[in-house]
Amino acid sequence: MKLESVELRRIRLPLVAPFRTSLGTVREREILLVRVVGPDAEGWGECVAFVEPFYSYEYVGGAHDVIREHLLPRLFGLDDVTAELVAPTLQGVRGHPMAKGALEMAILDAELRAQRISFGEYLGGARTEVDCGVSVGIHENVDELLRTVESYLEEGYRRIKLKIEPGQDIEPVRAVRERFGDILFQVDANAAYTRLDGERLAQLDEFGLLLIEQPLAEEDIRGHAELAKVVGTPICLDESITSARGAEDAIAMGACRIVNVKAGRVGGYLEARRVHDVCRANDVPVWCGGMLETALGRAANVALAALPNFTLPGDTSASGRYYAEDICEPFVLHDGRLAVPTGPGLGLTPIPEVLERVTTSVEICRPEA
C-alpha cells in the first residue's frame, strides 16, 4: 500500500471516575488517533501514551511530534508499506514504541480490511471471546474500595486487579480477600517499591494472589529476580518487558513467572505476538494489559488476548468501565467476557458524529511532492 495521507487526530474523553495509581491520578484521556489512507483502503491506530510522561517517557504531544517529523517521512518514502515493514523501516529512530505501534496498528488495520481478514484471525486467535478482568485504582477509604469491587463483581468481571503502593497494600488486600473470598485477585504496584521492601511484599503471600505486577523499577530485572526468591506470590513484569528479547532474558534470569503484554509498550501488535510466542515456548503464561484505550485499541487488545497463551483474564474491560460514551460501538460485557471482533481489520470504526464532538485537533500529513 502506498500511503497517500496520514491523519493525526487528538481527542479528549472524560473518565467515568478518576483512576488513581502510584504514578498519579487520571481524570480524562487525551488520545492521539492515527488514520492512514491508501489507494484502496484506510485503517485506524491508537497511541496509548498518556498526556504526561509518567508511565513511560512517551507522552501524547511527543508522540504526535515524532510521528510527524521523524516516522512518517521514512514511511512515505516506501512504495509499498506493509505492517511487517514498519518496525525495520523505523528502527533508525530510537525508542518511541507507542508512536511506532500506533502507526503499525493503523497500517495493519488497512491491510486486513483490504484482505477481508480480522485482527484475531491474522494474529492467530484461538477463541471467539476472552475472559475479562478489571483494574481498580487506589482508594483511601476501604469501605469505598469494597463497594467498588462489589460493583465490578456484580457486573460479571472474572478477575480483580488492585493498584497498590507502600501504605496502601496489605490492609486493602486483606479487606478485599476477607470480604469476597476465593475470587481471582491480583495486585499492581507500578514500580512503587524497592529491593528493601521484600519482606513487606512477602506479607501478601497469605492472600493467595494470582500475581504481584511490576513491584520494582522497570530497569531492575536483577532486583525482580532477587525478590522472586523472597516472595512466594508469582512476580509479573509489565514496564520491564519492552520486547520479545527482553521477555526471554527476564524469564531466563528468573525475574518473572508471568508477563503482562501491552502492544503499545513493545512497539506494536506484531512484537506483542512475538512476546506471546517466547513466553509460550518457556511455559510462562501471559495476559493482556490495558492503557485506558478507546474501543479502537480495545478491539485490537481483545483480538490479541484470544491467542492461546493468554490464559489469565486481562485488563480488557468493557467500554463503560472508563467511558460514558466511546468513539465506536462500545464493548459490552457478557458473562464476564468480551467477544472477539470478526469483521475485517479491527472490525469497527469510529462513529463520525461522536468522533467530531470529542476531537480537539486534526493534522493531515502527506508525502512531499
In this predicted structure, what is the pLDDT of residue 23? 77
**Active-site hit among 100, 161, 163, 229:** 163
Reading the block at residue 275, the C-alpha cell is 512476546
In this predicted structure, what is the pLDDT of residue 369? 57
Reading the block at residue 34, the C-alpha cell is 492515527
Q: Which CATH architecture has domain 5-116+350-365?
A: 2-Layer Sandwich (3.30)
Q: Kindly list the distances between the CA atom of residue 161 and the CA atoms of 134, 153, 313, in Å, as whole numbers in the listed order.
A: 6, 12, 10
Q: How far, in whole angstroms, is CA 359 from its chain's centroid? A: 22
DSSP state of 255: -
Contacts of 355 (CB under 8 A, 6+ apart): 9, 11, 327
Domain boundaries, the chain: 5-116+350-365, 121-339
3-state secondary structure of 261: strand
Active site residue 163: yes
Q: What is the Cα–Cα distance from 219 to 224, expressed in whole angstroms?
A: 10
**Average pLDDT for consecutive 10-residue bins of the chain (369 residues)?**
96 91 86 96 97 94 98 96 98 97 98 97 97 94 97 97 96 98 97 97 98 98 98 98 98 98 98 98 97 97 98 96 96 97 97 98 91
Q: What are phi and psi of 303, to 5 degrees?
A: -65, -40
DSSP per-residue letters across 133-154: EEEE---SSHHHHHHHHHHHHH
Pairing of strands 235-237, 24-37: unpaired
pTM of model > 0.85:
yes
Q: How far, in whole angstroms, is CA 335 from its chain's centroid? A: 22
Q: What is the fold, at CATH topology level, of the domain defined by 121-339?
A: TIM Barrel (3.20.20)
